Structure 1
Amino acid sequence: MPRHSPLAALALAAAAMMCLTSCAAASSSAEQQADGGTLVYAHQQEPPCVFGGWIEQAYLSYQVLDSLTSLDENGNAVAWLADSWTVSDDGLDWTFRLKHGVTFTDGSELTASVIAYNVEYWMAGGNSTAKVWLDGYYSSAEAIDEHTLALHLDKPYPRLPETLAQGYFGIQSQEALETRSDEQNCEQPIGSGAFTVAEWNRGQNIVLERNDDYTSWPANAQHEGPALVKTVDWRFVPDGATRASALKSEEVDAIYDVPSVEWETLEQGGFGLHKYVTPGRPQQLAFNTAQGPFTDERVRKAFAYSLDREALVETIGLGVIPYEGNGAVSQATPGYSQRAADRYSHDAEKANDLLDAAGWGETNADGFRVKDGQVLEVTLPYGAGTIINAEGASILQGVAQQAKQVGFDVTLVPVPPSEHFAGAHTQRDERDIAAGYWTSVTAGILWINWRADTEEAPNGNNAAFYNSPELEDLILRANSAADIAEQNELYQLAQEYIADHALSIGLYDRLSTLAVSPHVAGIWQEHSQGGPVFHDAHFVA
């Protein structure tokens, strides 16, 4: 059947106005198969760079940059640029043996020294997310020979190969990093991957072109050889309804972030639906324990008890979005604690009793609690259109309404992307509650989110501003435990500590969802963050 019809201009919601630009001339399925064709994909967000430390960047860089390892469907590390790896008896020295004959798309060769350069580049600030994962563990990188890399650690980290499978750890050409500008490496990073970045039209799309010389597919790829499609037209379409409409009218071949309200309709229409619950920290609320009303643990617990979070998520998410009570890690994360997830259920009576005990016994004419003349006001900013989508914003509105019933005056502050990326509302005096997530392949994310935040060693990822040697000790021992059962037990104790002190409460699991045309096969979700993989994608009759 004909592929693709010219795209009409589609109006987007709110202030986001763009159109889906016209495709190439329509062609038959046979012609599409002959040259691979152009696959049109509608994504919900445009990142500042192709390579970097945000999940939206990792989704793109996964198409362009290969990593040392990949993850299989069971969460186990498998070969990618590294054919194999071993670790010393003390857990401090990892040796990776690299594939031979791999070249970057600028013609330079992949060697152990190039990968060592990349690691040092990350640790020097070239990728803050890669750095924060390795901080406290990484000592040095060494090229033993041309195809043997050693990573030396200060402390054991048994899950290092799994961690390196995340898109943040994609390997770039050393020559490109050394000779090109930061802007060039931001917009068109040079990797050894299945695609190259041919063009970036800001606010509209990125065009990915097939790397015809691709030789370094991961062990869990669905086929060997270069990508099957010639081009991926990766479009930025912020509005969910617009994405779904374009898919149903065959103007795009696949979409990301499927609106819950469209899920059943698309399923009944024969579209392929993929849902991946990202491991790591779920969408949660972290309380400011450094200043404001939530310095009192009783007030934090009162807020938790005031909410019927599960009913909110079920109502708004229509059974598509999974409820998550655990504020530390999602149910997809190894070492998950159900006890932590079940710690707080809706109990308005308990909430009221706790507020009374904390001295918030008076109520003003608007129904809000008052203490020493001060109203129980709390500020909850959130990244609108970045880390919180439209459904998430509706859930937060429900949170504010439910908390009001026991006397909290919650002010929601939608933070636009420009302010969010500039660091707005990240300081202690700028918020009382932080909403957000952090994807991860292991519960090691706990170290990033709960390592102490001090003047000597700042930790901007500690959203609760909470410092606890006891909690740190549990996480550090878990991170270095060679025995998986011991590791998971310690991680669970850490989650339960967080729940018992009401430092963070879960709302829902962050999803990576795809809807795919019945005329396309081979798109799958990689298993570290759930991003789409287009190396195996192809058109079918």
Structure 2
Amino acid sequence: MKLRKVGTGLISVLALVAGMGMAQAKSDLTLAITLEPPHLDPTSAAAGAIDSVLYSNVFEGLTRFGPDGSVNPGLAESWTISDDGKTYTFKLHSGVKFHDGTDLTADDVKFSLDRARADDSQNAQKALFAGIESVEVVDPLTVKVTLSAPNGSFLFNMAWGDAVIVAPESIADIKTNPVGTGAFKFADWVQGDKIDLVKNPDYWGTPAKLDKATFKFISDPTAAFAAVMAEDVDAFALFPAPENLPQFEADPRFQVLVGSTEGETILSTNNKMPPLDNVKVREAIAHAIDRQAIIDGAMFGYGTPIGTHFAPHNPDYVDLTGNSQYDPDLSKKLLAEAGFPDGFKTTLKLPPPSYARRGGEIIAAQLRAVGIETEITNLEWAQWLEQVFKGKDFGLTIVSHTEPMDIGIYARPDYYFQYDNPAFNKVIEDLTAENDPEKRSSLLKQAQEIISKDYVNGYLFQLAYPTVANAKIKGLWLNQPTQANDLTAVSWEE
């Protein structure tokens, strides 16, 4: 009897220990972001907030960006490229289903690419598809894309959120009921508040570790701070109040991830407006700028100095900050050589983001110290787009270019900063036609060096991407190679 009693107690203790060890980790997550999407179709709007919720989570493309910026297979498990570099034959994964239960086939790929490149296409990045000459269905799982000319960036282009694969059956309601192939399914959208995603039990690839993910919209920095401190949200991506980050870093409940984005933040310069059309004047401006003072004053220390229009986390990045080091005496000397010993006046038109408004005041003071007076005008986004981006009515402005690896904009003479250099244009033309990785790397480095030495713009810093999260969350992206919050590998520590 006694032995039996001891045995029963031992069994009870073992059962209790086993039960404690088997306690499951939390399976839902609430991620706060500042901007709410205007709608949920990434193939018909420029709003990055759409991709920030849906990229990779709900929608997938033939290829996809990895957290390090690499281009990886997506819905295409493999591809071959013809010897002339003009034909890409994609082999799709088998067994892939859209969230409505329909099968993904080559017909859906043809529909998506033809829709994106159509004359009446509403795709915000229609240029990504401009080189496609034809899309042919070879068999249900094989599609052949023929380009009018070789394009070494084609696989990169297909990884953009604007190039995700959609189905004709669900396209009518895509703006309010997105149906993709991803590891999460769209569940609900309470406008002004949140979007709910749930795990896709039939996902073709590695299943999501979370059962549910909620994207909460909080734009006010004070409210953002309160929500994280109270643990009303589990994480906040691109936290809008960098001055509060040290407080979170000191709190063991949280982890602070400070990564980089594709956002090259620049003092954009009108290269056709006198005297800014003079390269010595532009060089003088560059040497008048103390990047670190701007990063410290406008971003509370968060940001990586850059000397060209390229993301520092990209493997092909060249550190060219030495071409434009802070040297006000050199700046004054260059101005005198350019015929402006007493300086000159120009305009500085600033869009709403704090990096522009705060940074603009600092830059204005730095330029004033070498004799350049700026007339500051604060503009709303719509005004900035109309006056600066479309109208080219500005001398200087500050903006962060968040598109991935967009150095090719410098080969567009009609672009708002109006830079036109045939040598640079040729490098980009060669880059587009080149498939060899080493040769592409060399061309990208040449491109960076040309615009740095032409002082096209004042290169300030790469916009930081601070995320505040519960210390037990793992799998969040550190950097932002594209505007996304990919939650497919996110989980809680057990």
TM-score by length of 2: 0.85
**Kept in 1: contact 2:403–2:482 (CA 8 A):** yes
Contact 2:30 2:235 in 1 (8 A): yes
Aligned to 1:169: 163
Matches within 5 A, 1:392-471: 392-419=356-383, 423-439=386-402, 441-442=404-405, 445-453=406-414, 462-471=415-424
Residues 75 and 40 (structure 1 numbering): CA distance in 2 closer, same or farther, change over 3 Å?
Answer: closer
Corresponding residue for residue 7 of structure 2: none
Aligned to 1:482: 435
Q: 1:358 aligns with which of 338, 358, 380?
A: 338
Structure 1 residues 255 and 73: CA distance shift in structure 2, 3 A: closer
| The one of 50, 54, 59 aligned to 2:52 | 59
Matched, 1:311 2:285: no
Deviates more, 1:478-487 or 1:494-503: 478-487
Aligned: 1:333 with 2:339: no
Which residue is 1:5 aligned to? none
In the other structure, the counterpart of 2:62 is: 68
* Corresponding position: 1:91 with 2:70: no
Q: 1:146 aligns with which of 128, 140, 155?
A: 140
Matches of 1:244 and 1:481 in 2, distance apart?
A: 47
* Aligned-residue offset at 1:441: 4.9
**1:100 pairs with 94, 100, 107, which one?**
94
Q: Distance in 1 between matches of 2:395 and 2:279?
A: 13
2:220 aligned with 1:267: no
The equivalent residue for 1:221 is none
**Equivalent AA in structure 2 for residue 438 of structure 1:** H
Which one of the candidate residues 154, 162, 171 is aligned to 1:160? 154
Q: Distance in 2 between matches of 1:317 and 1:489?
A: 33
Amino acid at match of 2:175: C
- Give 1:268 shift: 2.5
Question: Match of 2:350?
Answer: 381
2:75 equivalent to 1:81 = yes
Cα RMSD after superposing both structures: 2.9
- The Cα of 1:142 is off from its aligned counterpart by 1.8
The alpha-carbon deviation at position 535 of structure 1 amounts to 2.7
- 2:107 and 2:125 map into 1 onto residues whose CA distance is 18
- Distance in 1 (CA, whole Å) between partners of 2:479 and 2:324 is 33
For residues 485-527 of structure 1, what are the alpha-carbon distances to aligned partners after superposition, in whole Å with 9 as ceiling and x for unaligned?
3222222222222122211221111233322113434434586
Distance 1:335 1:480, change over 3 A: farther
1:367-426 deviation digits (Å, cap 9, x = unpaired): xx45xxxxx1223232x1xxx3x3453222211111111222223333334545x64532
The aligned counterpart of 1:26 is none
Determine if contact 1:80/1:216 at 8 Å carries over to the other structure: no
1:41 aligns with 2:34: no
Deviates more, 1:286-295 or 1:82-91: 286-295
| Cα distance in structure 2, aligned partners of 1:351 and 1:287 | 16
Matched, 1:133 2:128: yes
Measured in 2, the distance between the counterparts of 1:174 and 1:448 equals 33
Deviation at residue 316 of structure 1 after TM alignment: 4.2
Report the secondary structure of 2:84's partner residue: coil
Q: In the aligned structure 2, how far is the partner of 1:324 from the partner of 1:506?
A: 6
Structure 1 Cα separation of the partners of residues 272 and 487 of structure 2: 45
* In 1, Cα distance between equivalents of 2:410 and 2:46: 15
Residue pair 2:62, 2:74 contacting (<8 A) in 1 also? yes
Q: 1:99 to 1:518 in 2, by over 3 A?
A: same
Query: After superposition, where does 1:3-14 map in structure 2 within 5 Å?
Result: none
CA contact (8 A) 1:256 1:514 kept: yes
CA distance in 1, matches of 2:66, 2:37: 26
Q: CA deviation at 1:349?
A: 2.2
For the Cα contact (< 8 Å) 1:193–1:214, is it kept in 2? no
Q: 1:254 deviation in Å?
A: 0.6
Q: Residues 68-99 of structure 1: CA distance to partner in whole angstroms, max 9, x if unpaired? A: 12234554333321111111122111111111
Segment drifting more, 519-528 vs 137-146: 519-528
Q: CA deviation at 1:477?
A: 0.9
Shift of 1:285: 2.1
Offset, 1:212: 3.2
| Kept after mapping to 1: 8 A contact 2:33/2:219 | yes
Q: Which amino acid aligns with 1:448?
A: I
CA pair 110-419 structure 1, distance change in 2 beyond 3 A: farther
Of residues 522-531 and 149-158 in structure 1, the stretch that sits farther from structure 2 once superposed is 522-531
Query: Aligned partner of 1:494: which letter?
Result: A
Report if the CA contact (8 A) 2:210-2:490 is conserved.
Answer: yes
| SS of structure 2 residue aligned to 1:532 | coil
CA contact (8 A) 1:452 1:472 kept: no
Q: Per-residue displacement from partner, 1:315-360 (whole Å, max 9, x unpaired)?
A: 544443212222x212123422223x32112222222233334343
1:206 & 1:141 partners in 2: Cα distance? 37
SS of the residue aligned with 1:106? Answer: coil
How far did 1:474 drift? 0.8
- For the residues of structure 2 that align with 1:518 and 1:241, how far apart are their CA atoms? 21
> What SS does structure 1 have at the residue aligned with 2:136?
strand
- What letter is aligned with 1:452? P
Identify the residue that residue 466 of structure 2 maps to in structure 1.
Answer: 513
Letter in 2 for 1:132: A
State the aligned residue count.
468
* 3-state secondary structure, aligned to 1:49: coil
SS at match of 1:342: helix
User: Partner residue of 1:277?
Assistant: 260
Taking the aligned partners of 2:430 and 2:234, their CA distance within structure 1 comes to 46
Where structure 2 has 5 or more consecutive residues not aligned to the other structure, the ranges are: 1-19
Aligned residue number for residue 210 of structure 1: 198
What's the % identity of the aligned pairs?
22
Q: Distance in 1 between matches of 2:399 and 2:217?
A: 22
Q: Letter of the 2:473 partner, please give it.
A: V
2:68 and 2:479 in contact (8 A); partners too? no
Most deviating of 520-529 and 285-294: 520-529
Task: After superposition, give the CA deviation of every residue in 1:86-133 in whole Å (9 maximum; x if it has no partner).
Answer: 111221111111112222223333111211211122223645443223
Question: Cα distance, 1:186 vs. partner?
Answer: 2.8
